[in-house]
Chains A and B, each alone.
Chain A
């Protein structure tokens, strides 16, 4: 009794200053934290909540009748069903293909692994709709294969079947990398142990290998599903009558100026995306049996002989299809009028660098600004979340997670509706485009930064502060340099994604600030395939060049 009554007051009186001390000790860092959190709330959470609100509240206030009448329209449910069907199909096929590639690359004597790996990564660094463009060129009405080779006149390339093909190929690399990472981190001693106990190859595979990579398989399925739901470019170009939520939301917004329907459709997208994302984050990733050590463990390749032949054929079929699509795009970019006049020309490139130069330089400029901002903000947020427990950290954590999990469409619509009036009148500016790029790509840097921070001995930062440096100085002089690998991961990701993104920014571009991806889309729609192909080729080339450059810088600075 007396003990308790003595302990409580002293505990309480001292707790308040200690709680505030975190802030007082480093007002600068707390200021940075406050500004970052506020920005994340304004640019990530607020737009999404605006859309959710718009979905149910019109300018006449909440009207259940309006909501019901919107919901009773068949296009709403049709596009939802389409989205789920497409997402599930693509997820299953891409994961199966990714597994096939990953298993063959890590466990068999398949020849040409580097080639397979290189080609399999192409779709990751290019806009997803490069595939759509290729499909139109190859299988469209005047397609190189359908008409030229097979002589089919009215081939219908538009619809579900093409979308599945494109998305599966475009998202296979995600599954491939994911599963490959897991397969590499499984110590093959486990499989050897099974084999040494007399298990057949099939038993070892089905009883040991497969269960161990199941988390990666599940996680890939969910990731591809989210990607497919979010995809706007491919369904827009190739969907035909098969409308997904992203496309339907866009046409309601831009085509019919129906804000409420657009917002409602975008909000509906949030349901499958968030569900898959949360399952992934809180269930699948906790069920991984493999502790990732950062170093690939000892791998022995022991599957050889006859089994490898069908595996190799299947893998090569996939990568050759990808390669065929990319080569087609490059070929067409040098062709006068594909399918009609196949003479070679550089005219399309001339167009891009003259009439299209504005777009090209805009894209590079905006992505060039967004990239370092995204990467540094990502590292900073990782630092604030992992190392400094400021009151209100959860707002920052959830704000960035939300913006990552939410499809680009809802973010784009949210930006248009949130930032269209003072004090936040930003529509039509470069700022709004950059903000969208940053917010959408922040999470990857935060994740990479957090993982790396957890591996950096905390006392290195403590050593800096005890030598007299402020937390802010410590972050920039000690933490950030040590986070270099994560920083480069984030830079590469942010640059690639900022340059190839479409679903959010399509709502935000203006006459002054337009982007290459939006231009490609309109070129394809107006069937200027040659120019579109030239843009795509340049895009892929620029991304590859910048990534190579970054790798070079990273390598040369980490030598000492």
Chain B
């Protein structure tokens, strides 16, 4: 019904010669799912979202909602809801008037109008604030008014542009879960923009990692974290060690990669083809490395940062940097700079990337 498809969408802003904000983007948002656009500042997330809203016109390509081409449909005729970063509540109206605003523009009977508004205010726990001005609400309450106002018109698609960035850390997590719960309950197709990777993973059905106007990877939260398509995605989705190595042997089910004289992994091969002797990169998350007196790997400590729950070590393994966390320090003691540690790596979650990246990398995963 309201599946969203971006086909070959390109956006160049006039006047900014040569700069392409979004470059031939193809993206599908399945009915009822929440897709997050994630990426560093300036990568084109907001631009993509605003093209779906209709605030920006694509330079090229088409956008469809539920099979209808909306590329040239004006904003107010798209039936799309949006929660803004600044909430953008109408300051001269009460909470009820804010929520009512969009409903009044629908061809509804008076009674139904009131029912809808009342029920959404109830759902969002806003009934008692209905007659307040938005300025006299807390940040979280304002956020809920913004959400209520966006969904009360029953839009086909719901858009969020960094909706939680104005909230403090604790409230942020709570609101994040609330947003997701309501999205699931209403089953509304949603596009969510953020640059916080943990927020993206927590809230989404799919995470789309963007960089410089193109999609790096479009995948489930689990996959973008544990099976990153590119080194960029691996590093953007949290701390990652990218260790260079060489393929030693390949058989039916496994591949063996040597990182250094003391370190080698044997991994499940997956769908990819590897040649013996091929140079590769291994993505190793810090949490999969631990201090182990019996470990095969030797690492020289370069920096030690005590962080309370754990100690973060920056070490060197035959010229390659490797970061890991030790949460067992109270038993083994904290190592000092210059000391050599023996480590072991849980090789099951290690992910192998080719030496060089190609444009099709994201899709290979």
Contact = CB atoms under 8 A, between A and B. Distances in A.
Contacts of B75: 25, 462, 465-466
A24 B58 CA distance: 16
Given A462-B84, A468-B102, 17 more contacts: A15-B14, A24-B72, A459-B84, A459-B88, A460-B89, A460-B90, A462-B53, A462-B82, A463-B84, A465-B75, A466-B78, A467-B76, A467-B105, A467-B153, A468-B153, A481-B92, A560-B92
A59 interface: no
A482 B80 CA distance: 24
Interface of A: 10-11, 14-15, 17-18, 21, 24-26, 457, 459-460, 462-470, 478, 481-482, 560
Contacts of B84: 459, 462-463
Interface size class of B (residues with CB under 8 A): 35 or more
Contacts of B91: 460, 482
A436 to B, nearest CB: 34
B91 to A, nearest CB: 7
Given A457-B86, A465-B76, A466-B76, A482 B92 contact: yes
A15 B88 contact: no
A466 B53 contact: yes
B59 A14 contact: yes
24 contacts: A10-B59, A11-B12, A17-B72, A21-B72, A459-B88, A460-B90, A462-B55, A462-B75, A462-B82, A462-B84, A463-B88, A463-B89, A463-B90, A463-B149, A464-B101, A466-B75, A466-B81, A467-B81, A468-B76, A468-B79, A468-B153, A469-B105, A478-B90, A560-B92
Contacts of A467: 76, 81, 101-102, 105, 149, 153
A15 B81 CA distance: 27
Contacts of A459: 84-86, 88
Interface in B298-316: none
A551 B3 CA distance: 53
A21 B58 CA distance: 11
B267 interface: no
A468 B155 CA distance: 10
Contact of A460 (B53, B55, B72, B88): B88
B16 interface: no
A24 B73 CA distance: 10
A462 B12 CA distance: 21
Contacts of B105: 467-469
Interface in B52-107: 53-55, 57-60, 72, 74-82, 84-86, 88-92, 101-102, 105-106
A467 B85 CA distance: 16
Contacts of B58: 14
A465 B149 CA distance: 13
B90 A18 contact: no
A467 B59 CA distance: 25
B57 A18 contact: yes
A40 B238 CA distance: 58
Nearest to B83: A463
A358 to B, nearest CB: 41
Given A460-B88, A462-B88, A10 B60 contact: yes
Contacts of A469: 76, 101-102, 105
A472 B77 CA distance: 14
Contacts of B153: 467-468
Given A463-B84, A468-B153, A14 B102 contact: no
A467 B76 CA distance: 6
A195 B154 CA distance: 63
B133 interface: yes
A455 to B, nearest CB: 12
Interface in B149-170: 149, 153
A10 B81 CA distance: 30
B131 to A, nearest CB: 10
Nearest to B131: A560
Residue among A26, A460, A465, A467 facing the most chain B CB atoms (10 A cut-off)? A467
Contact of B74 (A17, A26, A478, A482): A26
Contacts of A21: 57, 72
Nearest to B74: A25
Contacts of A478: 90
B263 to A, nearest CB: 43
A560 B134 CA distance: 11
A560 B80 CA distance: 31
A470 B105 CA distance: 10
Contacts of A11: 12, 59-60
Interface in B97-138: 101-102, 105-106, 133
Given A11-B59, A14-B59, A463-B84, A468 B106 contact: yes
A14 B89 CA distance: 34
Contacts of A560: 92, 133
B82 A14 contact: no
A84 B80 CA distance: 61
The 6 closest A-B CB pairs, nearest first, are: A467-B102, A459-B88, A25-B74, A468-B105, A463-B88, A459-B84
Contact of B90 (A10, A464, A465, A470): A464
Contacts of A463: 82, 84, 88-90, 149
Nearest to B79: A468
Contacts of B74: 24-26
Nearest to A478: B90
A201 to B, nearest CB: 43
A468 B89 CA distance: 15
Nearest to A481: B92
B82 A466 contact: yes
Nearest to A471: B76
